[in-house]
Structure 1
Amino acid sequence: MASSSDPWMRELNDASKLVDEVSAMVSQRSSLPLSGSQMQRHMSTARRKMTILRTKLETLQSLLSKFPGKQRITEREMNRRQDMLNKLSVKAGEVAPTLNMSMSADRDSFFGLDRNRGDIMKIANDLDNHDLVGFQRQIIKGM
């Protein structure tokens, strides 16, 4: 078994904590105001943590495939670590779409696209660049 001083295991534990933090942040989103800087900061922090998590997972996979020769581990331990990493990657993969959907919904709501996206697209398709800028200004004034 790996000791707690093993850098790979510490990195895996850090990644596991990050998955839990991002998941909690996405869950807390419903308790925050729908608009405003507090929501933006909260979701920005969640996105930043998700980016850090992805980097950690890639690093862990890379380290596992090139495990240092001075640290002898059995094939069984190698398989156990691969399983732990796979489970953590799946868990992170389940959180990512939820985070992306909430970001998309926030953006659409902020720009008013959640209500009449189809109508706006129909109008914008027939406009040249000059008219499109005027149409954008009109939409912004109407918000």
Structure 2
Amino acid sequence: MASYSESWMKEYNEAVKLCDDITAMMSGRNSVSSGPETQRHTSSIRRKITILGTRLDSLQSLLSKLPAKQAISEKEMNRRKDMLANLRSKVNQMASTLNMSNFENRDRLLGTETKPDDMSRTTGLDNNQLVGLQRQIMKGPLILVACFRTYCL
């Protein structure tokens, strides 16, 4: 059975391959014919950048859990953090090249990891209270849509 450390390195190497694939796609972006083909190509690049960002978030989470699962030296931990930070920097550069501003603000859109998870928020609530919580959560986006319509249309 592979150790957690080896699994992390395997996933990191897959993320590097995906990053290289995206870089190659971006280099070949100008050679794609115009019109819908260009849009499809750019859309594919953006999709892969988003997938890579999610993988990097997963790697970050696994890295924080790694010392508890398996003893690795502090030097090795710092090396892996640097590797991850460098790859994330590359991804952010690619995203900014494609004007993917929403990628950089993803934490603001989705919320941070320090947010209490939904299960802990619902512990001890009865059915009526759960429905009330659902309505409260669902009102947030509706208010944003109403504000958008008021100011932008």
Tell me the TM-score normalised to structure 2 length.
Answer: 0.58
Aligned Cα root-mean-square deviation (Å): 1.9
What is the rounded CA distance, in whole Å, between the counterparts of 1:100 and 1:26 in structure 2?
13
Deviations 1:12-49 (A, max 9, x none): 1111111111121112110011212x223222211111
Matched letter for residue 62 of structure 1: S
What is aligned with 1:14? 14
What is the rounded CA distance, in whole Å, between the counterparts of 1:53 and 1:86 in structure 2?
13
Shift of 1:10: 0.9
Which structure exhibits the higher relative contact order, with contacts defined as CA atoms closer than 8 Å and separated by 6 or more residues?
1
What is aligned with 1:64? 63
* Runs (4+) off by over 4 Å: none
What is the rounded CA distance, in whole Å, between the counterparts of 1:91 and 1:73 in structure 2?
26
What is aligned with 1:135? none
Matched letter for residue 7 of structure 1: S
What is aligned with 1:73? 72
What is the rounded CA distance, in whole Å, between the counterparts of 1:29 and 1:79 in structure 2?
35
What is the rounded CA distance, in whole Å, between the counterparts of 1:63 and 1:70 in structure 2?
10
Gaps of 5+ in 2: 101-153
Larger radius of gyration: 1
Gaps of 5+ in 1: 102-143
What is aligned with 2:95? 96
What is aligned with 2:27? 27
1:18 and 1:53 in contact (8 A); partners too: yes
Would you say how many aligned residue pairs link Structure 1 and Structure 2?
97
1:50 and 1:96 in contact (8 A); partners too: yes
